[in-house]
Amino acid sequence: MEQTTTVQAQAPSPATSPATAVIYSRHHPFPSELIRHERLTGPGSLKDTRHFVLNLGGSGLTYTPGDSLGAFGGNSPALVEELLSLLGFDGDEPVTTANGKQTALQDALRRDYIVNRANRKILGGLAERMPQGEARNRLMEIVDNGDLLCEYIETRDYVDILREFPQVRFESPAAFLAQLSPVTPRLYSIASSCQAHPGEVHLCVAVVRYDTHGRQKKGLASGFLADHAGMFVKSVPVYVQPSRTFRLPADGSRDIILCGPGAGIAPFRAFLEQRLLEGATGRNWLFFGEQHRATDFLYGEEFLDYQRRGLLYRLDLAFSRDQAHKVYVQHRMLENAKELWTWLQAGAYFYVCGDAKHMAKDVHQALIDLARTEGGLSVEAAAQYVNVTLMRTEKRYLRDVY
């Protein structure tokens, strides 16, 4: 499954009446509550990766390992307050959101619009309201230059921009809201087996946190789950996004190879729980990678226990920053090229999940490299084997990358 998060949903109107046969969806999400929240990365880690358990009780929602959960986040109350003070509104003003909901301005800014990052549109809106002068000329220079505009908004939110251009006054809350983008859901690979945890869904989330222009920023959904979703409060609207292709083999006797560094481990926790529950006889081989073993071995105890109990036939770990040179999952794959090739030749499935930009490309190349070195194939034949035979014809190379 290779999906994007750029789904064009309008702000959700969470459903509240599961008594009737409601089918929850992106446009009609279920208001789930956070019932467990643990930090997976330890003190001293550069990462903030968390395990969240959401209650789906009463929703009728079910899922299969390989599916994702769509979740709506929200902006930090402190960010909204700062924005209101720059705008000169008190927040109680009644507004109508993009999807027709009547609410107070501060609630709309918290839950219905993207406020943690600026969009392109805002600068045009600012320019229209800016008095002539040096500041307006500076703004127009950015508006008129596509590259400059992209670069400008990439690292800024509305607070950064309004601080830089304090001359601008929006005539009404509605005029400001009209410049914003409605909130969209984020997808998270489900990290649990529904049968092992009835009525629950587990997520493994790498929380987005960064500093730009002297201010701390956070991800809309990951930051909301980590910092603002109260425990035991129906505050997280969710729906299940089924996968068409990212599935365990129907035949439990097939061997599987799982490659999931970082938060990419999520669906493989679900796969392993499911294989254990079903008593699948095929062997399971997991490649996991993160920065440091001491602080970033996500679900380490669980996987070591699976290894001790024989559910994990092999567990190969790549802690990239525990030595002078980088060690990544694809290096572990190549160190074990002979065995990996033997598994693939015997019909094993190969799964990869996580970073699409770098990791998945390098893992893909490692598969081609080992088809060449171990299978004795030419460069072209090795690429054909991976891209066509494994991926398309036999559908045993499956990806959930983002």
Ligand X SMILES: NC(=O)c1ccc[n+]([C@@H]2O[C@H](COP(=O)([O-])OP(=O)(O)OC[C@H]3O[C@@H](n4cnc5c(N)ncnc54)[C@H](OP(=O)(O)O)[C@@H]3O)[C@@H](O)[C@H]2O)c1
Which residues make up the interface to ligand FAD (CB under 6 A)?
3-5, 68, 73, 116-117, 155, 186-189, 204-206, 208, 210, 212, 219-223, 263, 266, 402
Instruction: Report the residue number, 89 or 268, with the smaller CB distance to ligand FAD.
Output: 268
Which amino acid, residue 194? C
Binding partner selected for residue 285 from ligand FAD, ligand X, none, CB under the kind-specific 5 to 8 Å limit? none
Minimum CB separation of residue 242 from ligand FAD in Å reads 11
Q: Which of 87, 126, 359, 367 binds ligand X (CB under 6 A)?
A: 359
Give the x/- contact pattern for ligand X in 193-212, rule: CB under 6 A.
-------------x-x----
CB of 90 closer than 8 Å to CB of 99: no
Nearest to 155 by CA among 206, 109, 213: 213
Binding partner selected for residue 355 from ligand FAD, ligand X, none, CB under the kind-specific 5 to 8 Å limit? ligand X
Centroid of chain to Cα 131: 41
Residue 73 makes contact with ligand X by CB under 6 A: no
Tokens of 345: 């030749």
Binding partner selected for residue 189 from ligand X, ligand FAD, none, CB under the kind-specific 5 to 8 Å limit? ligand FAD
Q: Which of 291, 299, 306, 317 binds ligand X (CB under 6 A)?
A: 291
Give the bridge partners for 70, in sequence order.
187, 239
Binding partner selected for residue 246 from ligand FAD, ligand X, none, CB under the kind-specific 5 to 8 Å limit? none
Tokens of 310: 């024989």
Nearest to 28 by CA among 19, 43, 40, 17: 17
* Residue 178 neighbours by CB distance under 10 Å: 12
For the chain, how many residues are written? 402
The angle subtended at Cα 201 by Cα 205 and Cα 11, nearest 5°, is 70
DSSP single-letter state for residue 28: B
Runs of H (alpha helix) within 112-167: 121-129, 134-143, 146-154, 158-164
Instruction: Report the residue number, 173 or 264, with the smaller CB distance to ligand FAD.
Output: 264
Minimum CB separation of residue 224 from ligand X in Å reads 13
Residues forming contacts to ligand X in the complex (CB under 6 A) are 47, 49, 206, 208, 261-264, 289-291, 320-321, 326, 328-330, 354-355, 358-359, 362
